[in-house]
Structure 1
Amino acid sequence: MLKQFLCVIGLLAALPGGALAQNASEIARVQAGQSCPGCNLFQADLSYLDLPHIDVSGSRLRQADLSLATMNHSNFTRANLSVSNLFGARFTGARFAYADLSQATAAGAYFGGADFTGARLDGANLSGAELETAHGLTQAQLNTACGDASTRLPSGLTIPSCR
């Protein structure tokens, strides 16, 4: 049984991006301002950083801390940002197309001109977020998220209140 377990662990470690643990060298690359599409940035601390035009498309940013970061014009297309902290961050013109933002906290974040086409927002907290000029948002997406009276949305869209 132990031999089988060790074989499974070995196979997981051989997978692209490693098993499920973060990749410290890939996180360091992004923290230094370098793009890293498809990287394993699980639980990365990118808080307070200024990372404009960074490409982390297809990356695993699950449980990452992007609080108070500035990531204007960055590419998060198809990235996994589930359960991440985006509190107060700036994402002017960023691309979140088909990204997974389920259970993310984006309270007070700025998404001016950001693209949310096909993004998953299930359980995301958008309280106080600025999304008024964001595009690609649908009512169906917002119905799965929550916000508050200070959440700014494109005309005609609404969001349920957080409980």
Structure 2
Amino acid sequence: MSRLTALSFALAVLATAATPVLAQNAGQIASVKRGASCPGCNLFQGDFSGLEARGLNLSGARLRQADLSLSVMNRTRFSNADMRDVEAYGGVFSSSNFSGADLTNAGFVGAYLQGAAFSGANLTGTNLSGANLSRATGLTQPQLNRACGDSSTVLPGNLRISAC
């Protein structure tokens, strides 16, 4: 291998190693904080706590480890979003769409999810303690068997949830 080829290879490796592959996109996070929709955006670890924005389209967005605590995001589309490890303590998400979203290990403690859609959502490890899911649609007992809650969790119909 020539010196030039070796040097080019070394520089390419260093450039790749220094590039954050899936880091958050600060511009996209700022845009959502101003109330803009952002389907498919990279909102990884975004701080949206206390945000009041209704009817956003965040379908397919990467919200992993984001903070949605005490936010009001009624009628927001989170369908097919990566919401693993999201913290949404006390958030208000009435009539929002979580269909197909990955909510693995998310915390919706005390959240208001009345009328929200959950068809095909992954609720593995999701904490729904004190959450109000009355009139929620698309929820199944197998989904809830992978989640947990408490005696104050409100569920539609005859659905049940195990204690955390």
Q: Same fold (TM over 0.5)?
A: yes
Which consecutive unaligned segments of at least 5 residues does structure 1 have? none
Report the secondary structure of 1:29's partner residue.
helix
TM superposition shift of 1:3: 4.4
1:101 aligned to 103, 114, 129, which one? 103
For residues 110-148 of structure 1, what are the alpha-carbon distances to aligned partners after superposition, in whole Å with 9 as ceiling and x for unaligned? 011100000000001000000121000000000000000
Equivalent residue number for residue 88 of structure 2? 86
Structure 1 vs Structure 2: percent identity of aligned residues? 51
Equivalent residue number for residue 14 of structure 2? 6
For residues 8-40 of structure 1, what are the alpha-carbon distances to aligned partners after superposition, in whole Å with 9 as ceiling and x for unaligned? 447xx5xxxx72110000000000000000000
1:23 aligned to 22, 25, 30, which one? 25
For residues 33-63 of structure 1, what are the alpha-carbon distances to aligned partners after superposition, in whole Å with 9 as ceiling and x for unaligned? 0000000000000000101001110000000
Matching of residues 1-163 of structure 1 within 5 Å: 2-3=10-11, 5-6=13-14, 8-9=16-17, 19-162=21-164
Computing the radius of gyration over CA atoms, which structure comes out larger, 1 or 2? 2
TM superposition shift of 1:5: 3.2
Q: How many residues align?
A: 156
TM-score normalized by structure 1?
0.91
TM-score normalized by structure 2?
0.91
Q: CA RMSD in A?
A: 1.5
